[in-house]
Structure 1
Amino acid sequence: MTTPAIDLSIIPAAQRAAVLALMEKVAALTEITQRQEHLIAELNHALHGKRSEKLTEDERQLAFEDLSIALGEVEVQKEHLAAKTGDKTTTKPAPKRTIGNLPAALPRIEEVIEPDSLICPCGCGIMHKIGEDRSERLDIVPAQLRVIVTVRPKYACRTCTDGVTQAPAPSHLIMGALPTEATIAHVLVSKYADHLPLYRQSQILARAGLDLHRAVLADWVGKAAFHLKPVVDRLAEHLKRSDKLFMDETTAPVLDPGRGKTKTGYLWALARDDRPWGGEDPPGVVYFYAPGRAGANAEICLTGFDGILQIDGYQGYNRLTKPTRKGGAPIRVAHCWAHARRKLKEVFDRDGSEIAAEGLRRIAEIYTVEADIRGISHGQRLSARQARSAPLVAAFGEWLQAERRKISSKSRLGEKLTYIHNHWEGLQTFLTDGRVEIDNNRVENLIRPITLNRKNALFAGHDEGGIAWGRIASLIETCKINGVEPFAYLKTTLTAIAQDHPQSRIDDLLPWNFRTSS
Structure 2
Amino acid sequence: MTTPPDLNNLNADQLRQLAAQLLSDAAEKDQTISRQSNQLHNQQLLNDKLKHELAILKRHHFGKSSEALNAHQASLLDELVDADIAAVEMERAGPVDSKPKPEKHQPKRSPLPPQLPRQEPDSTQCTCGCQLQRIGEDISEKLDYIPGTFTVERHIRGKWACKTCESLTQAPVPPQIIDKGIPTSGLLAHLLIAKYADHLPLYRQEKIFAQAGLAISRSTLAEWVGRCGVALQPLVDALREELLLHPVLHADETPVPMLAPGKKKTHCAYIWAYCSTSTAAVKAVVYDFAEIRAGANARTFLEGWQGKLVCDDYSGYKAGFNKGITEIGCMAHARRKFYDLHVANKSQIAEQALQLIQQLYDIEREAQKLTAEARKQLRQQRSTPILDSLHQWLMTHRQKVPNGSATAKAIDYSLKRWRALTRYCDDGAYRQ
Query: Residue 273 of structure 1 aligns with which residue?
Result: 277
Q: What amino acid is the match of 2:338?
A: L
Shift of residue 238 of structure 1?
A: 0.9
Report if the CA contact (8 A) 1:308-1:333 is conserved.
Answer: yes
Report if the CA contact (8 A) 1:247-1:309 is conserved.
Answer: yes
Query: Residue 367 of structure 1 aligns with which residue?
Result: 361
Query: Residue 392 of structure 1 aligns with which residue?
Result: 386
Q: What amino acid is the match of 2:157?
A: R
So what's the TM-score if we normalise by structure 2? 0.76
Q: What amino acid is the match of 2:392?
A: E
Report if the CA contact (8 A) 1:98-1:178 is conserved.
Answer: no
Shift of residue 222 of structure 1?
A: 2.0
Question: Which secondary structure state, in structure 2, belongs to the residue aligned with residue 241 of structure 1?
Answer: coil
Shift of residue 261 of structure 1?
A: 0.8
Deviations 1:161-202 (A, max 9, x none): x33333323222223221111111111112211222323322
Question: Which secondary structure state, in structure 2, belongs to the residue aligned with residue 112 of structure 1?
Answer: coil
Query: Residue 188 of structure 2 aligns with which residue?
Result: 184
Whole-angstrom CA distance in 2 between matches of 1:63 and 1:367: 39
Query: Residue 212 of structure 2 aligns with which residue?
Result: 208
Query: Residue 51 of structure 2 aligns with which residue?
Result: none
Query: Residue 348 of structure 1 aligns with which residue?
Result: 342
| 1:408 aligns to 2:402 (yes or no) | yes
Query: Residue 65 of structure 2 aligns with which residue?
Result: none
| 1:144 aligns to 2:158 (yes or no) | no
Shift of residue 393 of structure 1?
A: 0.9
Deviations 1:307-363 (A, max 9, x none): 111112334333332x3xxxxx24211112222222223333444433333222222
Whole-angstrom CA distance in 1 between matches of 2:429 and 2:164: 75
Whole-angstrom CA distance in 2 between matches of 1:93 and 1:308: 55
- Note closer, same or farther for the CA distance 1:168–1:98 as it changes in structure 2 (3 Å cut): farther
Report if the CA contact (8 A) 1:430-1:436 is conserved.
Answer: yes
Report if the CA contact (8 A) 1:115-1:166 is conserved.
Answer: no
Question: Which of these residues, 135, 141, 163, is aligned with residue 130 of structure 1?
Answer: 135
- Note closer, same or farther for the CA distance 1:93–1:386 as it changes in structure 2 (3 Å cut): farther
Whole-angstrom CA distance in 1 between matches of 2:253 and 2:200: 22
Q: What amino acid is the match of 1:127?
A: L
Query: Residue 55 of structure 2 aligns with which residue?
Result: none
Whole-angstrom CA distance in 1 between matches of 2:167 and 2:198: 52
Query: Residue 475 of structure 1 aligns with which residue?
Result: none
- Note closer, same or farther for the CA distance 1:92–1:298 as it changes in structure 2 (3 Å cut): farther
Query: Residue 314 of structure 1 aligns with which residue?
Result: 314
Whole-angstrom CA distance in 2 between matches of 1:364 and 1:55: 39
Shift of residue 246 of structure 1?
A: 0.3
Shift of residue 153 of structure 1?
A: 3.0
Whole-angstrom CA distance in 2 between matches of 1:117 and 1:97: 41
Shift of residue 288 of structure 1?
A: 0.3
Query: Residue 77 of structure 1 aligns with which residue?
Result: 91
Whole-angstrom CA distance in 2 between matches of 1:242 and 1:73: 30
Q: What amino acid is the match of 2:419?
A: E
Report if the CA contact (8 A) 2:176-2:184 is conserved.
Answer: yes
Question: Which secondary structure state, in structure 2, belongs to the residue aligned with residue 292 of structure 1?
Answer: coil
Shift of residue 104 of structure 1?
A: 1.3
Shift of residue 247 of structure 1?
A: 0.6
Question: Which secondary structure state, in structure 2, belongs to the residue aligned with residue 303 of structure 1?
Answer: coil
Query: Residue 256 of structure 1 aligns with which residue?
Result: 260
Question: Which of these residues, 227, 231, 251, is aligned with residue 227 of structure 1?
Answer: 231
So what's the TM-score if we normalise by structure 1? 0.64
Whole-angstrom CA distance in 2 between matches of 1:420 and 1:369: 20
Q: What amino acid is the match of 2:370?
A: I
Query: Residue 8 of structure 1 aligns with which residue?
Result: none
- Note closer, same or farther for the CA distance 1:316–1:209 as it changes in structure 2 (3 Å cut): same
Q: What amino acid is the match of 1:283?
A: K
Query: Residue 497 of structure 1 aligns with which residue?
Result: none
Report if the CA contact (8 A) 2:140-2:154 is conserved.
Answer: yes
User: Which deviates more, 352-361 or 429-438?
Assistant: 352-361
- Note closer, same or farther for the CA distance 1:67–1:90 as it changes in structure 2 (3 Å cut): farther
Query: Residue 244 of structure 1 aligns with which residue?
Result: 248
Q: What amino acid is the match of 1:152?
A: R
Question: Which secondary structure state, in structure 2, belongs to the residue aligned with residue 69 of structure 1?
Answer: helix
Whole-angstrom CA distance in 1 between matches of 2:263 and 2:108: 40
Q: What amino acid is the match of 2:410?
A: K
Whole-angstrom CA distance in 1 between matches of 2:76 and 2:364: 45
Question: Which secondary structure state, in structure 2, belongs to the residue aligned with residue 106 of structure 1?
Answer: coil
Shift of residue 57 of structure 1?
A: 5.8
Shift of residue 99 of structure 1?
A: 9.7
Report if the CA contact (8 A) 2:247-2:308 is conserved.
Answer: yes
User: Which deviates more, 105-114 or 199-208?
Assistant: 105-114
- Note closer, same or farther for the CA distance 1:343–1:407 as it changes in structure 2 (3 Å cut): same
Whole-angstrom CA distance in 2 between matches of 1:152 and 1:90: 21
User: Within 5 A, what are the aligned runs for 1:474-485?
Assistant: none
Whole-angstrom CA distance in 1 between matches of 2:122 and 2:208: 31
- Note closer, same or farther for the CA distance 1:317–1:262 as it changes in structure 2 (3 Å cut): same
Report if the CA contact (8 A) 2:124-2:132 is conserved.
Answer: no
Whole-angstrom CA distance in 2 between matches of 1:349 and 1:55: 28
Question: Which secondary structure state, in structure 1, belongs to the residue aligned with residue 142 of structure 2?
Answer: strand
- Note closer, same or farther for the CA distance 1:57–1:428 as it changes in structure 2 (3 Å cut): closer
Uncovered stretches (5+) of structure 2, i.e. residues with no partner: 1-67
Q: What amino acid is the match of 1:139?
A: D
- Note closer, same or farther for the CA distance 1:316–1:107 as it changes in structure 2 (3 Å cut): same
Question: Which of these residues, 405, 418, 427, is aligned with residue 424 of structure 1?
Answer: 418
| 1:154 aligns to 2:159 (yes or no) | yes
Question: Which of these residues, 101, 109, 120, is aligned with residue 111 of structure 2?
Answer: 101
Report if the CA contact (8 A) 1:72-1:223 is conserved.
Answer: yes
Q: What amino acid is the match of 2:214?
A: L
Query: Residue 473 of structure 1 aligns with which residue?
Result: none
Query: Residue 377 of structure 1 aligns with which residue?
Result: 371
Query: Residue 48 of structure 2 aligns with which residue?
Result: none
Q: What amino acid is the match of 1:70?
A: D
Shift of residue 257 of structure 1?
A: 3.0
| 1:171 aligns to 2:175 (yes or no) | yes
Report if the CA contact (8 A) 1:137-1:148 is conserved.
Answer: yes
Q: What amino acid is the match of 2:135?
A: I
Aligned residues: percent identity? Answer: 36
Shift of residue 396 of structure 1?
A: 1.4
Query: Residue 451 of structure 1 aligns with which residue?
Result: none
Q: CA RMSD in A?
A: 2.9
